[in-house]
Amino acid sequence: MPASRHDDLEAIRALKAAYFRLLDTKEFALLGDVLTDDVTTSYEGGRHTFDGRSEVIGFLERSLGDPGIVHSHTAHHPEITLASDDEATGIWYLEDRVIVPAADFMLTGTALYEDVYVRTPAGWRIRHTGYRRIYEERRRHSTGELLSFTSRFEEGPGS
């Protein structure tokens, strides 16, 4: 019996939750399992684009794999559209924080993630993921001193 639309939506929600849990716990090999082999990314509004699972996981390991870097990614308010029985899209609101005590640095911000999901024999997987910032703050971790603040609304109309 095919899965119900409700079951598909719940499976996609669980998939995205696993993506962030495995990212924050630095379980990169398992993180690769939630992605298709041909996954593509467009992080930071296209500043970091990658093709294929090994490129994506390699980038994430290089960027966040250091145990001295701690981070938290929380996604909520999913807007999931089932385009067909085997494909869906999703928009998620992200709140994240990255702390690097050794560099006395902390980044916080929000973004909108846009994903494409496909049903595979192993279940739903992420075929494309990426985000565009709404805002980003960079601060000294020890004092909270603001180093920089950027907002997508500062970029001008149509950005």
Q: Quickly tell me which residue has 């994903």 as its tokens.
A: 115
At 158, the pLDDT band (50, 70, 90 cuts) reads: very low
Of 157 and 37, which is predicted with more confidence?
Answer: 37
At 156, the pLDDT band (50, 70, 90 cuts) reads: low
Residues whose CB is less than 8 angstroms from the CB of residue 108 and which lie 6 or more positions away in sequence, other chains included: 95, 96, 97, 98, 136, 137, 139
User: Which H/E stretch holds residue 8?
Assistant: helix 5-24
CA dihedral 114, 120, 124, 127 (to 10 degrees): -20
- pLDDT computed for residue 2 by the predictor: 56
Summarised one tens digit per residue, pLDDT across range 5-59 is 999 999 999 999 999 999 999 999 999 999 999 999 999 888 999 999 999 999 9
Identify whether the C-beta of residue 83 lies closer than 8 Å to the C-beta of residue 89: yes
Domains of the chain: 5-155 (3.10.450.50)
Summarised one tens digit per residue, pLDDT across range 48-90 is 999 999 999 999 999 999 999 999 999 999 999 999 999 999 9
Burial classification of residue 137, based on how many CB atoms lie within 10 Å of its CB (0-12 exposed, 13-18 middle, 19 or more buried): middle
Least confident of 14-18, 103-107, 126-130, 152-156: 152-156
